[in-house]
Structure 1
Amino acid sequence: MSKTIRSLAVVLGLSLTIFALSACGKKEEPKVEVNTKTISTSDLKDKVGKSDWVIVDTRENDAFNGWKLDEVTRGGHIKGATDFSSAWLKVDSKEKDATLDEALKTKGISTDKNVVLYDANGKDAKEVSEYLAKKGYKNLYTYDVKDWAKDTSLDMEAYPNHQMVVPVSWVKDLVDGKKPETYNGKDFKVFEVSWGDETKSPDYLKDGHIKGAVHINTDEIEEGPLWNRLSDDKLIKFAEGKGITLDTTVVLYGPDNTAAYRVASILKYLGVKDVRVLNGGTAKWKAAGYELEKESQKATPVEAFGTTTPLNKGYIIDMPQAKEILADKEGSRLVDIRAWDEHIGKISGYDYIKATGRPAGAVWGHAGKDSSSLQDYRNLDNTMRNKDEIIAMWNEWDIKPDQKLSFFCGTGWRAAEVLLYADVIGVKNASVYDGGWNEWSGNTGNEAGPVETGEPKKQQ
């Protein structure tokens, strides 16, 4: 044997030994047998509402909200069902496991119950059943919701204004020249929204944007130091400059959809009839595998917006109206959409706001872990959380959907997102208090309103 061959043999032997040791040390995931049963429509009818059964919609959040996806004849979910989308299992997040565990708990999906998982494509329910089986769930059933949707005698629930929050497939059809569900076919514009010009936007030119989308810099609709909306005449000029009229279908999205919701609230305030936000934002578009373009797109202005004054002025209110809401302790609520530590006055949440606390009499409406997040209102994939869970959060603090509600945060972004969700689920008398804590605290030298700090008592 030559020296070269002997050397190769030694190297090969060492490699095999290392491989064998690595293989011995590698921890293989135990195989879990997934035993699911199918359930018929007649049997499922008898199980809805029973305490030992839980019905779970595993489809995209949009289908649950009311969209007719995967050839379902009626949009929405089985009345009484909760949601646990298979899309959440694909999210890359350090907090995924903990978030999903908390979601199962909140939704009452537990190992001691019979769990019916339904979809319309034969894939979503399978993925969720495999996930639950690994967690020890035994009594799992699957169902095709298309059968339920065909029978109009069976209850399905679609949110009254679900069309305001749109699925990525809807936007894809729109930009590809098709006429998707609920679109009037007249004129549409797609906008990517974030702070800064398009060269500084987190993804407009660098990573790309939806075909034909024009960038909106949030500085175009608000200004400091209060960061309130611009004057009405300036907002109308903004709309005209972007080619928007009262009859334009406007689709907004962004890397952080809170900015998109902020602009959506402005356009609805002006009176634009058809304002949509892409559910889940840029991340959902990318997750769907749809193409992005990197060319800058410029808006084509229009001569006239269609009105010289806002047609929906009650959608955004100012400090005098906020005080009126606080004075009506029975029929109205000023709802704080900030983190708990902001609400109790532990932090201001903003490096440019010194004062801490909340407007005296305001109630906490939940938000997220800090001033830049809104996890309490979003699913793991940043889609809109379901109506029942939103209302349950409100009920904790005596906030009712039939009251006059005005949402506020620091400067209006987080509150705008919650306002749009309230609109989606059918709340009829809701607004954003535009000045928020920045104005109420007197941070910019204006007269402050009454302030309180500390942990409030729940008003129940």
Structure 2
Amino acid sequence: MKGLVSAAWLKDNLASSRVVIVDCRFLLNDPDAGEQAYREGHIPGAYYLDLERDLSAPKQPDVRGGRHPLPDVDLIATVFSRIGIISGDHVVAYDDQGGAMAARLWWLLRWTGHDGEISILDRGFAGWKEAGYPVSSEIPSPSATADPYVPRIQDGMVVTQAEVRQRLHRPGSVLVDSREAPRYRGESEPIDPVAGHIPGAVNRFWKDGLTEQGRYKSAEQQRERFADLSPDDEIIVYCGSGVTACPNVLALEAAGFRNVKLYAGSWSDWISYEGNPIKTGDEEN
């Protein structure tokens, strides 16, 4: 599937000066676990980027922007410069959460206009270790390149709360909720203070894009997941905070959808606005 590389490919390209490897491991219920795991062992040469410190802005007191707001453009440019990403580099991101955190970096690089290839390591760190490939605890130094990362924001990739509200039930626009079905239906909500989903949204749990072995399904299998959607429609993807929606963005684009956008604030942003409608149960009920 487009947007992925295998462990074997990465092993063969470890020494390339044009490949930048990024470890994105992170646990929502234990924010320090990802970096600790990285320090204990990672793919040689990989840098570590933290979901909350590096790939998100601080959560606002009023929760506007959601639990993982998009990072400030200048700050994310500084982060990418620190690990040496320059024009034309092939960035390979990985995690051990099925690609969810790595997909956040994949999306941010595309949103900031990176002109090199951007890939997710299929099966992540677990697949790397299972293949018997080397693991290191050596932390690479910050990049010494003189070339800063220059962002070129792609505004058309993201929508705001107000834009989502304008599109509710509008023909030609479809909302895709990437959370587990019980959260979508409002039967349980372990994270956010309000349960349910945005009215009209269809539910496509992001992990259904993976096989039982944790590998991304093929482009044809992804097309089957979204067979009831039209490639001509505007597809707006969301989740709880804009992170696990990113694997569905990847899957939709691999399946041939041409107009896929991220509601970056997602459910945690939607419910912060008084008066926004909320639906529970399935849409057909």
Alignment of 1:116-195 (within 5 A): 162=2, 164-177=3-16, 187-195=18-26
Q: Give yes or no for contact 1:232–1:309 (8 Å, CA) kept in 2.
A: no
- Hey, what's the Cα distance between the residues in 1 that align with 2:151 and 2:10? 30
- Hey, what's the Cα distance between the residues in 2 that align with 1:191 and 1:427? 27
- Hey, what's the Cα distance between the residues in 1 that align with 2:258 and 2:33? 39
- Hey, what's the Cα distance between the residues in 2 that align with 1:456 and 1:264? 31
List gaps (5 residues or longer) in structure 1. Answer: 1-64, 66-161, 178-185, 368-373
The residue type equivalent to 1:204 in the other structure is Y
Q: Kindly state the Cα deviation for residue 434 of structure 1 after the two structures are TM-superposed.
A: 0.6
1:394 counterpart (226, 246, 261): 226
What fraction of aligned residue pairs are identical, expressed as a percent?
22
- Hey, what's the Cα distance between the residues in 2 that align with 1:188 and 1:336? 33
Q: Give yes or no for contact 2:177–2:203 (8 Å, CA) kept in 1.
A: yes
| 1:449 correspondence with 2:280 | no
The residue type equivalent to 1:232 in the other structure is V
TM-score w.r.t. the length of structure 2 is 0.87
| 1:283 correspondence with 2:115 | no
Aligned residue for 1:379? Answer: 211
Q: Kindly state the Cα deviation for residue 314 of structure 1 after the two structures are TM-superposed.
A: 1.9
The residue type equivalent to 2:174 in the other structure is R
Q: Give yes or no for contact 2:25–2:96 (8 Å, CA) kept in 1.
A: yes
Please identify which structure carries the higher helix content: 1
2:103 counterpart (257, 261, 276): 261
Q: Give yes or no for contact 2:209–2:222 (8 Å, CA) kept in 1.
A: yes
Q: Give yes or no for contact 1:194–1:217 (8 Å, CA) kept in 2.
A: yes
TM-score w.r.t. the length of structure 1 is 0.55
Alignment of 1:275-314 (within 5 A): 275-300=118-143, 302-305=145-148, 307-310=150-153, 312-314=154-156
| 1:355 correspondence with 2:170 | no
In the TM superposition, what whole-angstrom CA distance separates every residue of 1:388-422 from its partner, at most 9, and x where no partner exists? 33333323xx4223321111000112110111122
Q: Kindly state the Cα deviation for residue 199 of structure 1 after the two structures are TM-superposed.
A: 7.5
- Hey, what's the Cα distance between the residues in 2 that align with 1:337 and 1:426? 18
1:438 counterpart (250, 268, 278): 268
Aligned residue for 1:272? Answer: 114
| 1:221 correspondence with 2:55 | yes
The residue type equivalent to 1:217 in the other structure is D
Q: Kindly state the Cα deviation for residue 342 of structure 1 after the two structures are TM-superposed.
A: 0.9
- Hey, what's the Cα distance between the residues in 2 that align with 1:449 and 1:436? 13
Q: Kindly state the Cα deviation for residue 363 of structure 1 after the two structures are TM-superposed.
A: 1.7
- Hey, what's the Cα distance between the residues in 2 that align with 1:313 and 1:301? 30
- Hey, what's the Cα distance between the residues in 1 that align with 2:186 and 2:89? 42
Q: Give yes or no for contact 1:377–1:390 (8 Å, CA) kept in 2.
A: yes
- Hey, what's the Cα distance between the residues in 1 that align with 2:144 and 2:274? 39
> In structure 2, do the counterparts of structure 1 residues 364 and 308 end up closer, same or farther at CA, with 3 Å as the change threshold?
closer
In the TM superposition, what whole-angstrom CA distance separates every residue of 1:316-368 from its partner, at most 9, and x where no partner exists? 3221232243352x211111011111111111241xx110111122222234x
Secondary structure in 2 aligned to 1:451?
coil
Highest RCO, 1 vs 2 (Cα 8 Å, sep ≥ 6) = 2
Q: Give yes or no for contact 1:359–1:450 (8 Å, CA) kept in 2.
A: yes
In the TM superposition, what whole-angstrom CA distance separates every residue of 1:5-58 from its partner, at most 9, and x where no partner exists? xxxxxxxxxxxxxxxxxxxxxxxxxxxxxxxxxxxxxxxxxxxxxxxxxxxxxx
Secondary structure in 1 aligned to 2:168?
helix
Q: Give yes or no for contact 1:240–1:301 (8 Å, CA) kept in 2.
A: no
Q: Kindly state the Cα deviation for residue 425 of structure 1 after the two structures are TM-superposed.
A: 3.1
Secondary structure in 2 aligned to 1:333?
strand
What number of residue pairs does the alignment pair up?
Answer: 272
> In structure 2, do the counterparts of structure 1 residues 193 and 346 end up closer, same or farther at CA, with 3 Å as the change threshold?
same
- Hey, what's the Cα distance between the residues in 1 that align with 2:222 and 2:186? 24
> In structure 2, do the counterparts of structure 1 residues 284 and 234 end up closer, same or farther at CA, with 3 Å as the change threshold?
same
2:43 counterpart (197, 210, 219): 210
Q: Kindly state the Cα deviation for residue 306 of structure 1 after the two structures are TM-superposed.
A: 5.2
Secondary structure in 1 aligned to 2:126?
helix
Coordinate RMSD, CA, aligned: 2.3
- Hey, what's the Cα distance between the residues in 2 that align with 1:188 and 1:245? 10
Secondary structure in 2 aligned to 1:271?
coil
Aligned residue for 2:80? Answer: 239
- Hey, what's the Cα distance between the residues in 2 that align with 1:421 and 1:365? 11
Q: Give yes or no for contact 2:25–2:34 (8 Å, CA) kept in 1.
A: no
- Hey, what's the Cα distance between the residues in 1 that align with 2:31 and 2:76? 18
- Hey, what's the Cα distance between the residues in 2 that align with 1:298 and 1:199? 21
2:175 counterpart (319, 331, 334): 334
